[in-house]
Structure 1
Amino acid sequence: MQFKHPEILYFLFLLVIPVLVHLFQLRRFQKEYFTNVRFLKELNMQTRKSSKIKKWLLLFTRLFLLACLIIAFAQPFFKASDSNNKSNEMVILLDNSFSMQAKGSKGELLKRAVQDILENTPEDQQFSLITTTGAYWDTDVKTIQKELQNTNYSSVPFHPDFLLTKAETKKPNTGKDIVVITDAINLDTKNISSLDSDKPVYFIVPKAENKANVAVDSVYISQTLDNFYEIGVTLKAYGKADNDVSVALYNGKELTAKTLAKFTEASETLTFTIPKKDFHGHVSISDNSLSYDNDYYFSITKPEKSNVLAIGENAKNKFLSRIYTEDDFVFTSSELGAVDYNSLEKQDAIILNELKEIPQALITTLKSFYAKGGNVVIIPAPDGSVQNLNSLLSGFGNATLQAATQTERQITKISFSHPLYQTVFEKKTDNFQYPKVNSAYTLSGTALPVLSYADQTPFLASATNRLGNVYIFSAAINKQNSNFQNSPLIVPTFYNMAQNSGKTGITAITIGENQSLIIDALLSKDEVVTVKNEEADFIPMQQILNNKIKLSFGDYPETAGNYSVVKNNEVLKNVSFNYPRTESNLSLQNENILKDYTKTDSVSTVYNDIKSQRTASELWKWFIIGTLVFLLLELFIQKFVK
């Protein structure tokens, strides 16, 4: 027990006064003898004894009364259990990721959390509030009421450790009471590693009542016909999808098609047929859970002919001219000595067909071509220089070729999920007539296998820098060395290797994945392109690559939708952006990792808990009550004790 005014305890010496008074009243009586009081002797003795008891009771009562009064003025108290953190500042970390769109018993989780803060935070309470998209420092509920109520959902995942680092950077070496409001979706131990469980950390975990959710996962071209595209739309159901889901396809604001999705499995794929021309729209569904993943935006550019250059002997390039027809490609075959280096950057794909020696100038040009988004296909010569080939491959990752062996090898494995074959096979096949080679190099490294031999080594592998692709064969495919030219695989393999994603296919970029896009355009030194739609615009990072521009988007735009790349009011290309689907599965709530922290159900509970732990136990009231009790005891003794 401690005292706010311990100097008042010196007044306890006043307790001597009642003692002195008592001793004065209890002085010895002088005996006086009388003749006729013998019969009163017993009565007198009893009265004297009773008087002594009464006076002792009064003494102790007055001593306690005076002691309680003096101690009450000294204001005794017990020290608060958490007094060391009394000067802490309040920091609230609020999860506004898309999973907080889920509905709890009182509405959307984020809106309910905001209302909880506004209703239960004292008006004079200073605090800092940080979300994934913004921060409010040293504020109060009145100041940020409108901003809080207008808080938008964010595609950025909620990472408490990152937000706490921002708070520490803003105010280092300052004690903090941390209140984390999150639904704990996708939360892992790394995200809370910087939270000290020995310090005041409170978690408020609102929970969704309905964890079932349907999301549009992806849109792709499943098949290309003469005048039409078949569009594949993949829907994913998280939890049990009891009802059919309405699916609509829009081109701009115009409804193109509509159907129902019936879920017999967790994933369902629907097919739409659209004309083979520019398409700038989205797929939309309706479900009663999260809304951010109900729309998937995508753009398709009317197919342009891809430029393909094959470098090698014209006789060996002849089979390629039958694949790259005039309908879809501008195909050129060139001997090595006749290559026009100035025309290489205008190509979409360059095929090196069995070159015995590749000049260093060509190697340097191909590396630059690949970095700018071009596709490179390498078919080694059976008697080529391994060292020369590896010098070329060093610019495309860590793939290497080892010396060729004269052993027949059967090609037995197809990577059906590889982008080259995603739209080729309707289903996996086991009775395929696989080709073979008589002589082959051994390809090693991290390149992704596309076709493999029976010994699991690659016959064809690929690597990508997310702009361009490189495809590496481990064997020559001339008819003397292989029957691959007679295989049904030859056409889709080479056809798809020459496709430029900027000229064909779907453009749908995921926000926050720092993807890049290369478009054909000429810019002067001071010119820039803008990405815009009717509601927003921004200037992406851009790099001029001769007659092309490389655009990098980072975390922009903030809102998913259909946009256009514009130069001086001229639309260069349509592009679409989508939110990542990382928040769609509401069953990924990882609340178990919070067992070392204090979990509460509301902000008011947090404030009450902090107040109770940091408020000293005042005891002076009890001593005042004790004073009154002893005062009443004295009165009772005076009146009733004889």
Structure 2
Amino acid sequence: MQFKHPEILYFLFLLVIPILVHLFQLRRFKKEYFTNVRFLKEVSIQTRKSSQIKKWLLLCTRLLLLTCLILAFAQPFFNAKDTKNTANEMVILLDNSFSMQAKGNRGELLKRAVQDLLENTPDNQRFSLVTNTEAFWDTDIRSIQKELQSLSYSSVPFRLDFLRNKVEAKKPNVPKDIVIITDAVQADKNAVVIQEQSPVYCIIPKAENKNNISIDKVSINQQSDDFYEIKVALSAYGELQSEIPMAVYNGKNLVAKTVIAFDTPKKNIVFNLPKKDFHGYVSLEDNSLTYDNTYYFSISKPEKSNVIAIGDADKNAFLSRIYTPDEFQYKNTTLSTLDYNALDKQDAIIINELKEIPQALTTTLKAFYDKGGTIVVIPATETSVQNLTSFSGNFGISKIGSLQNTPKQITKIAFNHPLYQTVFEKKTDNFQYPKVNTTFTIGGNPAGILSYDDQSPFLSSVTNKIGMLYLFAAPINKTNSNFQNSPLIVPTFYNMAQNNQKTGISEFTIGDNQSLILDVILSKDEVITVQNEKSDFIPMQQILNNKIKLSFGDYPEQSGNYAIAKGNTILKNISFNHARTESDLSLHNENIYDNYIKTDSIATVYNDIHSTRTASEAWKYFIIATLLFLLLELLIQKFVK
């Protein structure tokens, strides 16, 4: 036991006062003998003995009363159990990712956690609060009440290691109490370790309903002269639900509606839309997460893609049957008549069996690739390995082997490659295998699209995220291969030259740092903006001669339909969606937080901290004891004779 005011203990010397008074009252009396009355003598002896007992009781009571009163003024206390962390700063890490939209027994998890903070955090408590996207440093609950009540959900996942580093950068070497509030969905075991000497509290709100349906992707399945066939990919998590309503809107106008019956976890729904500009969304209704119930997409009026083939006219003849005038601006030219200035205006350039690719053409093609263009290279039998290696090395393919005269069959298709994603309804191995008689070998790490039976690539691709290079390993003329007679020839070359930014669905995933190339010329002070009715932002932009490259980074913050504008002129409609990374609520990994102190509310955290770090004051007990001894003295005075 310790004392806040130990100097008051000197007043214990006052205990000598009642002792002196008692000794004065207990002085000896002189005996005087007079009338010999025996009875009175016995009464006198008994009274004297009783009086002495009473005086001793009063002395003890007064000494204890005075002692307790002096000790009470000295304010005794017992040390707290956890004294080393009494100066810690409190930091609250709050998960506001999309999975916190799930409903618990008292509503949405995030809103319930915010309400818990507002109701149970003391007004004088100072703390810092960090969410996935925002931070409030050295504040109190009343100062950020409005911000917490309007806190929005974020597509940024809850990464404890990232938030911990953010806190440490702001407050280095400061002892902290950390409170984690998260539903533990998509928790990464390697991202939850906190090296702390002080306690780390963890509050894990739980969703009661873990069933959820997500719209994962919208794509053009196929198209006719008058209609687009739109494929909507859905995923069901948890127990499969039936009769979920789904609708397609162009702007605010309802254009299609259906009811979905789930019999498998994955489902594809097909809609037919008129072949005209579309700027809308598809949505469904389920009783779970809402962020993945709407998928925005835009389809612009198809524009013809510009394609040029460089090579002999007879070898390029098959291309004119694929690149028809209704969809493509196709041109064939030989190397000797090539207009280099026209290459920059193309969407796709096909190098078909040139015996040698000049350095000037290589330089031009590399610049074209860097600006988002598509290049298709078909080697000739006479092409030297050195020349082909020198060309492909500019695009990251550094290993080209010598020509082999061994016939090979093309037996493997990369169905997940973007080139074939909309070609096949299902994977199949039962098709007529094309073959080649002679082929080069392609090494390095290009993505294989078509492969031989020995797993070596026949068709590979590399990309810089905006440009694409397709490289064949062998000539595909009818003398060397029957690939031109294969069913694969049309979708392969058609999709290679098809510019999705001109003819496909314009939608981007927020946070993927994707880019868009537009054919537009800007003056010195002009900028491109991305805008809708609620917000606007200026993307990163890079001028590429007569084109401009837009990079969106982590913007916009909200999904929706937007317009790309130059001043008051709308250049293109575009849509943005959040990644469906937190749609599966069953990925709840609470065990990762077992090393921390788990609790059910913020009130419990404050009570635990208060009880373990607050000294136990004993002065009030001494005041009570003083009153009890005072009462005891009164009782002795009254009842003890």
User: TM-score when scaled to structure 2?
Assistant: 0.92
1:182-331 to 2 correspondences below 5 Å? 182-193=182-193, 195-331=194-330
Aligned amino acid, residue 125 of structure 2? Q
Matched residue of 1:92: which SS?
strand
1:74-85 to 2 correspondences below 5 Å? 74-85=74-85
Find the aligned partners of 2:570 and 2:634 in 1 and give their Cα distance.
99
For the Cα contact (< 8 Å) 2:175–2:198, is it kept in 1?
A: no
CA RMSD of aligned residues (A): 2.9
1:59-70 to 2 correspondences below 5 Å? 60-70=60-70
Corresponding position of 1:475:
474
User: Which is worse superposed, 51-60 or 322-331?
Assistant: 51-60
Corresponding position of 1:411:
410
CA positional deviation for 1:110: 2.1
For the Cα contact (< 8 Å) 1:54–1:637, is it kept in 2?
A: yes
1:103 aligns with 2:103: yes
Aligned amino acid, residue 68 of structure 2? C
Corresponding position of 1:434:
433
Find the aligned partners of 1:77 and 1:269 in 2 and give their Cα distance.
71
Find the aligned partners of 1:11 and 1:299 in 2 and give their Cα distance.
88
For the Cα contact (< 8 Å) 1:399–1:447, is it kept in 2?
A: no
Find the aligned partners of 2:387 and 2:81 in 1 and give their Cα distance.
75
Find the aligned partners of 1:382 and 1:48 in 2 and give their Cα distance.
137
Aligned amino acid, residue 372 of structure 2? G
CA positional deviation for 1:442: 1.9
Find the aligned partners of 1:196 and 1:25 in 2 and give their Cα distance.
70
Matched residue of 1:84: which SS?
coil
CA positional deviation for 1:633: 4.4
Matched residue of 1:393: which SS?
helix
Corresponding position of 1:585:
584
Find the aligned partners of 1:631 and 1:254 in 2 and give their Cα distance.
87
CA positional deviation for 1:495: 1.2
Corresponding position of 1:93:
93
Find the aligned partners of 1:318 and 1:383 in 2 and give their Cα distance.
20
For the Cα contact (< 8 Å) 1:197–1:597, is it kept in 2?
A: no
Corresponding position of 1:148:
148
Corresponding position of 2:12:
12
Find the aligned partners of 2:367 and 2:223 in 1 and give their Cα distance.
31
- Counterparts in 2 of 1:189 and 1:32: CA distance versus 1, 3 Å: farther
Deviations 1:563-584 (A, max 9, x none): 1111132221111111111122
Corresponding position of 1:118:
118
User: Which is worse superposed, 311-320 or 72-81?
Assistant: 311-320
Aligned amino acid, residue 208 of structure 1? A
CA positional deviation for 1:60: 4.5
Find the aligned partners of 2:378 and 2:302 in 1 and give their Cα distance.
27
- Counterparts in 2 of 1:50 and 1:408: CA distance versus 1, 3 Å: farther
Corresponding position of 1:443:
442
Find the aligned partners of 1:228 and 1:520 in 2 and give their Cα distance.
26
1:531 aligns with 2:530: yes
CA positional deviation for 1:358: 1.5
- Counterparts in 2 of 1:491 and 1:123: CA distance versus 1, 3 Å: same
Aligned amino acid, residue 473 of structure 2? S
CA positional deviation for 1:10: 2.2
Aligned amino acid, residue 592 of structure 2? I
Find the aligned partners of 1:596 and 1:109 in 2 and give their Cα distance.
23
Aligned amino acid, residue 395 of structure 2? F
Deviations 1:359-392 (A, max 9, x none): 1221121111111111111212223222221222
Deviations 1:577-619 (A, max 9, x none): 1111112222222222222223332232233222223321001
Aligned amino acid, residue 539 of structure 1? I
User: Which is worse superposed, 568-577 or 199-208?
Assistant: 199-208
Deviations 1:407-438 (A, max 9, x none): 22121111122222222222222321101122
For the Cα contact (< 8 Å) 1:109–1:207, is it kept in 2?
A: yes
Aligned amino acid, residue 425 of structure 2? E
Find the aligned partners of 1:71 and 1:477 in 2 and give their Cα distance.
103
Equivalences, count: 641
Matched residue of 1:184: which SS?
coil
Find the aligned partners of 2:426 and 2:155 in 1 and give their Cα distance.
34
For the Cα contact (< 8 Å) 2:350–2:376, is it kept in 1?
A: yes
User: Which is worse superposed, 592-601 or 229-238?
Assistant: 592-601
For the Cα contact (< 8 Å) 1:5–1:74, is it kept in 2?
A: yes
Find the aligned partners of 1:286 and 1:520 in 2 and give their Cα distance.
39
Find the aligned partners of 1:380 and 1:45 in 2 and give their Cα distance.
136
Find the aligned partners of 1:302 and 1:255 in 2 and give their Cα distance.
20
Aligned amino acid, residue 446 of structure 2? A
For the Cα contact (< 8 Å) 2:116–2:601, is it kept in 1?
A: yes
Find the aligned partners of 2:252 and 2:378 in 1 and give their Cα distance.
47
Matched residue of 2:394: which SS?
helix
1:278-427 to 2 correspondences below 5 Å? 278-427=277-426
Aligned amino acid, residue 447 of structure 1? P
CA positional deviation for 1:7: 1.2
Deviations 1:194-224 (A, max 9, x none): x444324333322222111111110001113
Corresponding position of 1:177:
177
- Counterparts in 2 of 1:31 and 1:534: CA distance versus 1, 3 Å: closer
1:17-28 to 2 correspondences below 5 Å? 17=17
Matched residue of 2:230: which SS?
strand
CA positional deviation for 1:137: 3.5
Find the aligned partners of 2:637 and 2:542 in 1 and give their Cα distance.
101
CA positional deviation for 1:231: 0.8
CA positional deviation for 1:228: 2.2
For the Cα contact (< 8 Å) 1:448–1:462, is it kept in 2?
A: yes
Find the aligned partners of 2:38 and 2:535 in 1 and give their Cα distance.
118
CA positional deviation for 1:45: 9.6
Aligned amino acid, residue 323 of structure 1? I
CA positional deviation for 1:255: 1.2
For the Cα contact (< 8 Å) 1:399–1:446, is it kept in 2?
A: no
For the Cα contact (< 8 Å) 1:197–1:596, is it kept in 2?
A: no
Aligned amino acid, residue 118 of structure 1? L
Aligned amino acid, residue 384 of structure 1? T
Find the aligned partners of 1:33 and 1:390 in 2 and give their Cα distance.
141
Find the aligned partners of 1:268 and 1:78 in 2 and give their Cα distance.
66
Matched residue of 1:364: which SS?
helix
Aligned amino acid, residue 353 of structure 2? E
User: Which is worse superposed, 563-572 or 627-636?
Assistant: 627-636
Find the aligned partners of 2:427 and 2:199 in 1 and give their Cα distance.
56
CA positional deviation for 1:55: 6.1
CA positional deviation for 1:552: 0.6
Find the aligned partners of 1:36 and 1:405 in 2 and give their Cα distance.
151
CA positional deviation for 1:245: 1.0
CA positional deviation for 1:351: 1.4
For the Cα contact (< 8 Å) 1:186–1:588, is it kept in 2?
A: yes
CA positional deviation for 1:483: 1.7
Aligned amino acid, residue 245 of structure 2? S
User: TM-score when scaled to structure 1?
Assistant: 0.92
Structure 1: 5+ residue stretches without partners: none
For the Cα contact (< 8 Å) 1:69–1:627, is it kept in 2?
A: yes
CA positional deviation for 1:11: 2.6
For the Cα contact (< 8 Å) 2:5–2:73, is it kept in 1?
A: yes
User: Which is worse superposed, 58-67 or 449-458?
Assistant: 58-67
Aligned amino acid, residue 613 of structure 1? T
For the Cα contact (< 8 Å) 2:240–2:264, is it kept in 1?
A: no
Percent identity over paired residues = 68
Structure 2: 5+ residue stretches without partners: none
Find the aligned partners of 2:634 and 2:532 in 1 and give their Cα distance.
89
For the Cα contact (< 8 Å) 1:439–1:481, is it kept in 2?
A: yes
Corresponding position of 1:131:
131
